[in-house]
Structure 1
């Protein structure tokens, strides 16, 4: 499996509009963070988790010329705002795009993208196949690839992370139950969100993420959904345990 980090930033991205902090002014490419998303190439399939507002730019940058499915963690706009751009894949592949999400998330997509789901469709709009994720404990299959859901809380909003083979991906979370942590245990690679140093209402802090990862002890771990408040990439990564790295846009990891 090859994982490509399409975006590793927060809902505002980094740099933040109008901000002149040292991170937002950094010339290090690793400090330039689009909205959070990952691309999986696994078992011959091309699958993206979350299509935020930067989806088009990310797909062009990484030359993702074929896409088999989209999987959503939750309904927030920084994770769904690029859905319209699947049209290019509809045209290129001459087929509908499979979407996998919880029913609540699909309902939100129907409201925000009413034209996609309208009874009488305008020519050229995105074409989708809807696949509800009906359980947060039972595995489901995305185009033949097994996904194991990992339930997390994003403040009070239930969101999903996913384990695919020996890779686990959890973003936008500030709580994982003991049961969820056990489902993650044994993964070779774990990706976890780490927003900043200070407490936050809906995201893990850097130290909270480190504590979880040290307990789970994967071979490798990567932090994502990183705010400009965390600090510059090269400085923060130098202080991390050796098996934990800060992810950055364009990073490729093979599991």
Structure 2
């Protein structure tokens, strides 16, 4: 799906009465276009990267920010809650391009798949979508992540996890976040902004575990953005014989041909059988 596309009707009536998915980014860690293709163009030039700058992003399948999904969840009370999965290097650009385009007013909670740069380096910019307070006197945004990711984020952004100021330390406006630890275990469900999620541990290279997530009651959706292999337990959970029929599977696919050591590519994805419609 194109960057910035909604998985629902775009009519205001439909948006107000139902939940929807907004793909803020479907690109790789370096995003698309590839900068090197533009500053050191080949002969002939790369068609994808050249085309990515030629038409507006909302109509452009080749302009892609870091992978990120926004869930516009309409609860039983008719309230819309906005749940963000991953906050990568291009988060600010995604807000400027897609929040404004789709009238997204805030972020209510955040879920992280893993702690790589393309999933977390936009955390500092969360303050831009929070109410302004020079003294940080606001309700923090709930954020859900594994302990491994928490330890990594604490090293990258110590000021975002610090609870109290040290003696003599000045107050500086930073994103206010409430950190919640989740487990790499599909049996350890959690709730974010009223919506229940099932963690889906997957291999992102043979030395690294990333998380996908299963969510939705009326529609059963699995979102897995970084995967090179499914552990058997996770594969069972999202199979028809395991957890039940999937309505939508959103799956990592890096290249159209060939293979990669840390991501699925199209040949591997096309050979998977999860019994979805």
CA distance in 2, matches of 1:202, 1:187: 24
The residue correspondences of 1:65-214 to structure 2 (distance < 5 A) are: 65-91=105-131, 94-118=138-162, 119-120=164-165, 122-137=171-186, 138-155=188-205, 156-165=207-216, 166-185=220-239, 186-196=245-255, 197-212=257-272
| TM-score in terms of structure 1 length | 0.81
Displacement of 1:135 after TM fit? Answer: 4.4
8 Å CA contact 2:143–2:180 kept in 1: the answer is: yes
SS at match of 1:208: helix
1:56 — aligned with what? Answer: 92
Cα displacement string for residues 12-44 of structure 1 (whole angstroms, at most 9, x for unaligned residues): 111101214221112461011111100001133
Displacement of 1:182 after TM fit? Answer: 2.1
Displacement of 1:11 after TM fit? Answer: 0.6
8 Å CA contact 1:115–1:122 kept in 2: the answer is: no
SS at match of 2:233: helix
User: Quick check: 1:25 aligned with 2:50?
Assistant: yes
CA distance in 2, matches of 1:14, 1:178: 33
User: Quick check: 1:216 aligned with 2:274?
Assistant: yes
Higher strand share: 1
8 Å CA contact 1:36–1:52 kept in 2: the answer is: yes
CA distance in 1, matches of 2:248, 2:35: 33
2:33 to 15, 24, 45: 15
CA distance in 1, matches of 2:112, 2:89: 14
Question: Who wins on radius of gyration, i.e. which is larger?
Answer: 2
Two-structure CA RMSD over aligned residues (Å): 1.6
* Structure 1: 4+ residue segments shifted above 6 A: none
8 Å CA contact 1:136–1:160 kept in 2: the answer is: no
Displacement of 1:122 after TM fit? Answer: 3.4
Displacement of 1:217 after TM fit? Answer: 3.1
Cα displacement string for residues 188-217 of structure 1 (whole angstroms, at most 9, x for unaligned residues): 0110011111211100111111222xx113
Which consecutive unaligned segments of at least 5 residues does structure 1 have? Answer: 220-255
Which consecutive unaligned segments of at least 5 residues does structure 2 have? Answer: 1-18, 240-244
Q: How many residues align?
A: 217
1:39 — aligned with what? Answer: 70
